């Protein structure tokens, strides 16, 4: 059964422009994204044409500077757009979030000349990005990465393997963290590598539990040469850039999780109010009513939490612990809500005839990406009690 168009959420938006933006996204989501989600996820098909459409509509660079083709939108608005997209299809919401993450290094730390040269195509010229931090032997301990960049005349030669790369093999550009110096976080530098660079190749996509439409693949860098004009920021600054990108990226994951949870709740409400047992709708039974109430409460709390963190960011205030809390709460909530949605649909919930089993499989990955939820707890605790082992 094709996914239903997402139910409109009553949103507090700061401007008329933001309201128009949400209407536009709902229109695209209802027409172009939700109806094809089930079939294309089943077939592991990545909807590249949807990303072209979003780019043409100005939706792939929303939180960035309009001087370079961005949308000048506050995070508060950008994240609600992501939530709407993820409610229609997680592959799209998460894909936009990862693309935004991949643009961050250049937009926030690039030299003016680099920004003028590359950003317009990245933010609104139809290009799709990937963010390459993880490796086969370094996930949570990302600072131990081994991919090397070695100076070669006026450029660099990159060699190594990046793992779990969203859009790996289909991206037009890769923001790559590579080691240029000492072991540990201070020896890492960021580079912008074109997707068609000689020596760059991708393995076959991972065969995942869910999110099958979104390709995740190892990316091999076999002596890839880039000019020094593709180094982003200073030598040794790459890990700090990667982590500050993730502070914002985690808010994107939080918003996607709430979109997914909202879609599951909407589906569950529609089902239980129609399904009759014992001569009445099953939504009459208090046990189920209380489940619905708990699901809605977790979603509203998550939305409020990610928006509070976004408003701190928009005000130029520190927001890293709040972003970690939002990622932790919203993705755990999505896991619980989607699991309960399957329960509310009974046996039908366990079949692919309804989208809730897919939502449940998709929710799981959100507890893992951009720092597992154990890592989010470490980030939060460090702000409370200082670094471990002091």
Q: Which residues are known catalytic residues?
A: 370
Q: Would you count residue 144 as binding ligand FAD (CB under 6 A)?
A: no
CB of 176 to ligand FAD, least distance (A): 10
Q: Would you count residue 139 as binding ligand FAD (CB under 6 A)?
A: yes
Closer to ligand FAD by Cβ: residue 46 or 131: 131
- How many angstroms separate the CA atoms of 242 and 4, rounded? 37
Question: Are 191 and 200 in contact, with CB atoms under 8 Å apart?
Answer: no
Closer to ligand FAD by Cβ: residue 101 or 344: 101
Q: Would you count residue 331 as binding ligand FAD (CB under 6 A)?
A: no
Closer to ligand FAD by Cβ: residue 217 or 356: 217
Region of 39-47, 55-63, 129-137, 192-200 interacting with ligand FAD (CB under 6 A):
129-137
Region of 153-161, 285-293, 300-308, 374-382 interacting with ligand FAD (CB under 6 A):
374-382
Q: Which of 19, 152, 374, 383 binds ligand FAD (CB under 6 A)?
A: 374
Closer to ligand FAD by Cβ: residue 74 or 91: 91
Q: Would you count residue 97 as binding ligand FAD (CB under 6 A)?
A: no
CB of 242 to ligand FAD, least distance (A): 8
* Site residues (CB under 6 A) for ligand FAD, limited to 148-187: 164-166
CB of 105 to ligand FAD, least distance (A): 12
Q: Would you count residue 98 as binding ligand FAD (CB under 6 A)?
A: yes
Q: Which of 122, 258, 365, 380 binds ligand FAD (CB under 6 A)?
A: 365
CB of 39 to ligand FAD, least distance (A): 20
Q: Which of 73, 97, 115, 134 binds ligand FAD (CB under 6 A)?
A: 134
Closer to ligand FAD by Cβ: residue 112 or 207: 207
Please state the length of the chain: 390
Closer to ligand FAD by Cβ: residue 245 or 295: 245
**DSSP code, position 147:** -
Q: Which of 66, 140, 277, 351 binds ligand FAD (CB under 6 A)?
A: 140
- How many angstroms separate the CA atoms of 335 and 359, rounded? 9
* Site residues (CB under 6 A) for ligand FAD, limited to 205-224: 208, 211, 216
Q: Would you count residue 132 as binding ligand FAD (CB under 6 A)?
A: yes
CB of 92 to ligand FAD, least distance (A): 15
Q: Would you count residue 147 as binding ligand FAD (CB under 6 A)?
A: no
Terminal C-alpha separation, the chain: 55
Q: How many residues bind ligand FAD (CB under 6 A)?
A: 23
- How many angstroms separate the CA atoms of 119 and 64, rounded? 10
How many C-beta atoms surround the C-beta of residue 194 within 10 A? Answer: 16
Closer to ligand FAD by Cβ: residue 211 or 324: 211
Retrieve residue 380's tokens.
């939060």
Containing 191, the helix (H) or strand (E) segment is strand 188-194
Q: Would you count residue 369 as binding ligand FAD (CB under 6 A)?
A: yes
Q: Would you count residue 376 as binding ligand FAD (CB under 6 A)?
A: no
CB of 90 to ligand FAD, least distance (A): 10
| CA 358 remoteness from chain centre | 17
Q: Which residues bind ligand FAD (CB under 6 A)?
A: 98, 130-134, 139-140, 164-166, 208, 211, 216, 365, 368-372, 374-375, 378
């Amino acid at each position: 059964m094709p996914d239903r168009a997402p139910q409109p959420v009553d949103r507090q938006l700061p401007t008329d422009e933001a309201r128009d933006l949400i209407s536009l996204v709902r229109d695209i989501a209802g027409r172009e994204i939700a109806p094809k989600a089930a079939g294309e996820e089943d077939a592991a098909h990545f909807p590249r044409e949807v990303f072209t459409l979003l780019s043409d509509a100005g939706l792939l660079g929303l939180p960035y500077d309009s001087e370079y083709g961005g949308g000048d939108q506050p995070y508060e608005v950008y994240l609600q757009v992501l939530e709407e997209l993820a409610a229609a299809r997680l592959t799209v919401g998460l894909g936009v979030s990862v693309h935004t993450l991949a643009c961050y290094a250049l937009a926030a730390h690039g030299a003016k000349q680099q920004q003028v040269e590359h950003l317009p195509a990245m933010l609104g010229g139809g290009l799709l990005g990937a963010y390459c931090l993880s490796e086969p032997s370094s996930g949570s301990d990302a600072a131990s990465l081994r991919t090397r960049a070695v100076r070669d005349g006026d450029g660099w030669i990159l060699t190594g393997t990046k793992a779990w790369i969203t859009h790996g093999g289909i991206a037009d550009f890769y923001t790559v963290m590579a080691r240029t110096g000492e072991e540990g976080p201070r020896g890492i530098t960021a580079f912008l590598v074109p997707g068609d660079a000689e020596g760059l190749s991708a393995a076959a996509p991972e065969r995942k539990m869910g999110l099958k439409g979104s390709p995740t693949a190892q990316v091999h860098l076999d002596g890839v040469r880039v000019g020094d004009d593709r180094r982003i920021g200073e030598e040794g600054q790459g890990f700090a850039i990667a982590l500050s990108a993730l502070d914002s990226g985690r808010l994107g994951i939080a918003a996607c999780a709430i979109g997914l949870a909202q879609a599951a709740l909407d589906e569950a409400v529609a089902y239980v109010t129609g399904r009759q047992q014992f001569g009445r709708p099953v939504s009459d039974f208090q046990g189920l009513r209380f489940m619905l109430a708990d699901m809605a409460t977790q979603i509203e709390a998550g939305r409020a939490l990610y928006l509070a963190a976004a408003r701190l960011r928009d005000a130029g205030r520190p927001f890293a612990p709040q972003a970690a809390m939002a990622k932790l709460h919203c993705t755990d909530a999505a896991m619980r809500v989607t699991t309960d949605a399957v329960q509310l649909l009974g046996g039908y919930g366990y079949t692919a005839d309804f989208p809730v089993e897919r939502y449940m499989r998709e929710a799981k990955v959100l507890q893992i990406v951009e720092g597992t939820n154990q890592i989010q707890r470490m980030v939060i605790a460090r702000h409370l009690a200082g670094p471990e082992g002091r």
